[in-house]
Amino acid sequence: TVRALGTDVDTPMPLVQWVGRIGEPLYQCQPATGYADKAETWVNTGALLNRLNFSLALAGNKVRGSRTDAASLYGIDSSTDSRQVLDRAVQLFLGGHAAPTTVETLQKQLDDPQVVQATLDDPVKHIDLAMVTGLVLGAPEFQRR
């Protein structure tokens, strides 16, 4: 996730703590060959929720010592077109492959006023790119990659 976002890390300890929370504490795996690279070993509701929370925190610059510029990842002026933002995020982070149910669920989230960041007197919708990025990175398709 850190590499996918191009996140700059100045202080690694908060990031190390997050890695522990998502179920893979550094240097604590037995055996020393590392954690299994099979999704079946860690894909469950609790793990996916922790990974979603981590993705949202990292993309939204809520992890101390880390800085992510979500807007620069998109390379397009997509701040007002929710469909374009979602399509670009799926292309960037999922290689263009997402289950129709995932895309439908994410598109519904884009209609949420918290994501759209619209006020009553604001005729232009501004999409929270960090939120969309975090949601796509938290999708099961990304976690299984």
Each residue's pLDDT tens digit, 49-104: 888 899 999 999 999 999 999 888 887 665 677 888 899 999 999 999 999 999 99
Residue for token pair 């099961």: 140
CB 48 within 8 A of CB 38: no
Specify the pTM: 0.79
Distance of CA 93 to the CA centre of its chain: 9
pLDDT value of position 57: 95
Enumerate long-range contacts of 92-96, CB under 8 Å, 24 or more apart.
Answer: 92/4, 92/136, 93/4, 93/133, 93/136, 93/137, 93/142, 94/136, 94/139, 94/141, 94/142, 94/145, 95/145
**Which of 53, 76, 80, 57 lies closest to 68, judged by CA?**
57
